RNA sequence: AGGGGUAUAGCCAAACGGUAAGGCAACGGCCUCUGACGCCGUCAUCUCUUGGUUCGAAUCCAGGUACCCCUGCCA
């Protein structure tokens, strides 16, 4: 466990309480959980919460956690997603060991159990089409009516179901239904569909099957087969729980798992639904599922977020049963906390403006040692070059300073971080009045500290880069994808809340020379600006592209 | 409207009949060669609401109110 996670409070929650009691009472000798994604899309930060809960609980209570693909619908599932999900879970730092499972591994057993139900008179083959089934189901306030096929004989049901499996019937022509209660107030109990016919290849079992079990008929039984003790899912499955238990009660399952539900993660300034995420990709609003602004794990990862930070975030937000919206600022804080600790510092000028040190000899060069981390000498130092012409950030100069501004102004002085104190002596402008370059003088005696020769303390410290030594890079400044905290909020089209400035590409940034050796896996703090990381996809030899992971906190500009 | 849930600070969240943890944010102050980091302090007489039980209630009881989920051959 890393320091940032230790710093996160481990608060009690209802799941821990339940597990504690189950262990104490001897109901279970150990716990087994599972993360059960359907491989029909890419994982997002909401899934990370579930992953951390399931794997985290298993870790904390000395149990195990399975990775299980809930692959019961081949019409939507693909191998690509299976691979991506496995990689994401690993990236987050979790290990399922021997326990990689697929619901489809149990298709034969599930089929046998369906036959068992038919023989018990508890399931029947339905000939009504989807629309008719819907009409027969009734409404929230009115009971449904029983299907005319509900009373078929066991023999006929067995025959028909066998022929469904054999592929004799086209998609949609028949389904297998449980015979429960068409008048049940819980609609999930009104003779739910158990199997449907789908003539499509399955990513894991190929074309062995023509019928596939529904989620409800697969999940609980699969939990039982895997001997899951605590089957943890999100709140919307709560109304399925009676069905989950009905199958466990009516089938000779080998174990008795129990379902518990928690509130899914909602994050401000983003959208999380698969449909909307997909739309952002398809409409070209983002560059892909791994666009650094996306809440997908592939996106977050490309952006440069660390798995430690994501885990700390999941720990910090807790687990409850009430619908909640987590402020994305908390995620950003977790990233800062982690990176502040681990990121080597460097200097980079994003919006360069030239500063000529007139009293510094032309052609002369000096090398200064700069610490890689102010609080961690063990992270070493690097040398940075100083020369007559420098780049500084245009944000750090104001011709007419606003109140409280203590960076560079004409006639003002400022400390060049790890360098000299300089005084700005003048501004050169073009005919339009745009600033071409700044001129200044340096104090040769001011290398150490921030005090001037006459003992005054310089208020401002700015970053800079030597012009002749600098390397040029593209830097992408990412911001929140939406400008509204809740773009998902009812009614209105979420796309109207898109933040037009969610990415700003700066193509002529000047970085200190040491960054020529930057590695993709290293996150850097560009001092006074934020945390950055080489884009793993668009960086080319000699033409670095940096992504801004997150800014530094900035109480000054906030005021 | 039938069923199932949930309400504790700006946002999360603990508490299990014994006198409202913690985190994030915010606000003061200190420190600082990053307006970063760090450090110190402040931040619910009160738990959606109205009654009741009790020596004692966020916790128990009764009635309200608000919000979320459920009418896929999706998961």
Residue A8 C-alpha from the chain's centroid: 18
Q: At A307, which helix (H) or strand (E)?
A: helix A307-317
CA A323 / C1′ B39 distance in Å: 36
Give pLDDT tens digits for A342-390. Answer: 999 999 999 999 999 999 999 999 999 999 999 999 999 999 999 999 9
pLDDT, tens digit (0-9, with 9 covering 90-100), for A270-318: 999 999 999 999 999 999 999 999 999 999 999 999 999 999 999 999 9
Q: Exactly one of A59, A256, A274, A351 is catalytic; name it.
A: A274
**Residue A302: active-site member:** no
* Residue A503, beta-bridge partner list: A478
CB A108 within 8 A of CB A115: no
Residue nearest to nucleotide B16 (CA to C1'): A17
Cα separation, A440 vs A392, in Å, equals 12
pLDDT of residue A173: 98
Mean pLDDT of A188-193: 98
Nucleic acid strand B: bases within 7 A of protein CB: 1-8, 10-16, 21-27, 33-38, 67-75
Is the pLDDT at A489 greater than 90? The verdict is no
Give CA–CA dist A167/A158, Å, rounded.
Answer: 14
Considering chain A, tell me which residue range(s) the CATH 3.90.800.10 domain(s) occupy: 107-216
Q: ipTM score of the complex?
A: 0.95
Average pLDDT over residues A24-41: 96
Considering A150, A163, A264, A351, which one is annotated as catalytic? A264
Q: What value does the CA radius of gyration of chain A take, rounded to a whole number of Å?
A: 31
A279 included as an active-site residue: no
- Report residue A558's pLDDT band, with 50, 70 and 90 as the boundaries: low
Residue A266 CA and nucleotide B49 C1' are separated, in Å, by 28
Average pLDDT over residues A397-426: 95
pLDDT single digits (tens) A58-82: 999 999 999 999 999 999 999 999 9
Q: What is the pLDDT of residues A518-530, one digit of tens each?
A: 999 999 999 999 9
Average pLDDT, chain A: 95
Please report which confidence band the pLDDT of residue A11 belongs to, taking 50, 70 and 90 as the band edges.
confident
A545 DSSP β-pair partners? A474
**Per residue in A129-158, pLDDT tens?**
999 999 999 999 999 999 999 999 999 999
Task: Answer whether A387's CB lies under 8 Å from A466's CB.
Answer: yes
Residue A363 CB-half CA count within 13 A: 0
The residue written with tokens 């819907």 in the block is: A134
All CATH 2.40.240.10 domain ranges of chain A, comma separated, are 345-550
CA of residue A67 to C1' of nucleotide B41, angstroms: 47
Can you give the pLDDT at residue A3?
47
Tokens representing A328?
Answer: 């994305």
- Residue length of chain A: 559
Q: Is A78 tagged catalytic? A: no
CATH of A107-216, one of 3.50.50.60, 3.40.309.10, 3.90.226.10, 3.90.800.10: 3.90.800.10
The dotted CATH code for A345-550 is 2.40.240.10
- Are A305 and A335 in contact by the 8 Å Cβ rule? The answer is yes
Largest Cα span, chain A: 103
- Tell me the mean pLDDT in the region A200-224: 98
**pLDDT of amino acid A275:** 92
A555: the nucleotide nearest its CA (via C1') is B35
Span CA (A326) to C1' (B10), Å: 12
pLDDT at A559: 57
Taking residues A89-96, what's their average pLDDT? 98
Question: Which among A322, A315, A301, A384 is positioned nearest to A349, based on CA atoms?
Answer: A384
pLDDT over threshold 70, residue A412 = yes
Model's pTM, two decimal places? 0.96
pLDDT class of A490 with cuts at 50, 70, 90 = low
Higher pLDDT: A542 or A216? It is A216
Mean pLDDT, range A408-435, rounded to an integer: 96
């Amino acid at each position: 466990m890393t320091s940032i996670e230790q710093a996160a409070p481990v608060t009690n929650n209802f799941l821990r309480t339940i597990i504690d009691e189950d262990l104490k009472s001897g109901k279970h000798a150990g716990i087994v959980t599972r993360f059960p994604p359907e491989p029909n899309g890419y994982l997002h930060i909401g899934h990370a919460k579930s992953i951390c809960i399931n794997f985290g609980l298993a870790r904390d209570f000395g149990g195990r956690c399975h990775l299980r693909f809930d692959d019961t619908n081949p019409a939507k599932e693909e191998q690509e997603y299976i691979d991506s999900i496995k990689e994401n879970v690993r990236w987050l730092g979790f290990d399922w060991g021997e326990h990689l499972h697929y619901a489809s591994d149990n298709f034969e057993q599930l089929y046998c159990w369906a036959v068992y139900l038919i023989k018990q008179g508890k399931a029947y083959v339905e000939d009504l089409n989807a629309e008719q089934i819907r009409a027969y189901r009734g409404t929230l306030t009115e009971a449904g009516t029983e299907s005319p096929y509900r009373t078929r004989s066991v023999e006929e049901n067995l025959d028909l179901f066998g022929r469904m499996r054999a592929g004799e019937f086209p998609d949609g022509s028949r389904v297998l239904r449980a015979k429960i209660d068409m008048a049940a107030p819980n609609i999930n109990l009104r003779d739910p569909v158990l199997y449907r016919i789908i003539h499509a290849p399955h990513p894991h079992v190929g074309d062995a099957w023509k019928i596939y079990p529904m989620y409800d008929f697969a999940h609980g039984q699969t939990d039982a087969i895997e001997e899951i003790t605590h089957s943890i899912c999100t709140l919307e499955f709560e109304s399925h729980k009676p069905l989950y238990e009905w199958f466990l009660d009516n089938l000779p399952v080998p174990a008795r798992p129990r379902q518990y539900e928690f509130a899914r993660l909602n994050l401000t300034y983003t959208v999380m639904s698969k449909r909307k995420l997909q739309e952002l990709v398809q409409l070209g609003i983002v560059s892909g599922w791994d666009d650094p602004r996306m809440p997908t794990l592939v996106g977050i990862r490309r952006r440069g977020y660390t798995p430690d930070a994501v885990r700390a975030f999941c720990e910090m937000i807790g687990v409850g049963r009430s619908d909640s919206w987590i402020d994305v600022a908390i995620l950003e804080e977790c990233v800062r906390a982690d990176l502040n600790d681990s990121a080597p510092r460097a200097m980079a000028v994003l919006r360069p403006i030239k500063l000529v040190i007139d009293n510094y000899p032309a052609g002369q060069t000096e090398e200064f040692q700069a610490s890689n981390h102010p609080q961690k000498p063990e992270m070493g130092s690097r040398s940075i070059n100083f020369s007559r012409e420098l780049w500084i950030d245009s944000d750090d100069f104001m011709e007419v300073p606003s109140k409280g501004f203590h960076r560079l102004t004409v006639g003002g002085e400022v400390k060049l971080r790890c360098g000299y104190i300089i005084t700005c002596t003048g501004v050169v402008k073009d005919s339009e009045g745009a600033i071409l370059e700044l001129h200044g003088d340096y104090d040769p005696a001011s290398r150490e500290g921030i005090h001037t020769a006459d003992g005054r303390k310089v208020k401002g410290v700015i970053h800079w880069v030597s012009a002749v030594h600098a390397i040029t890079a593209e830097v992408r400044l990412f911001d929140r994808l939406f400008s509204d905290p809740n773009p998902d909020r009812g009614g209105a089209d979420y796309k109207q809340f898109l933040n037009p400035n969610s990415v700003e590409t700066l193509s002529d940034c000047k970085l200190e020379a040491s960054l020529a050796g930057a590695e993709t896996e290293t996150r850097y703090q560009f001092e006074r600006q934020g945390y950055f990381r080489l884009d793993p996809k668009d960086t080319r030899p000699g033409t670095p592209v940096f992504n801004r992971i997150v800014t530094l906190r900035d109480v000054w500009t906030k005021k």
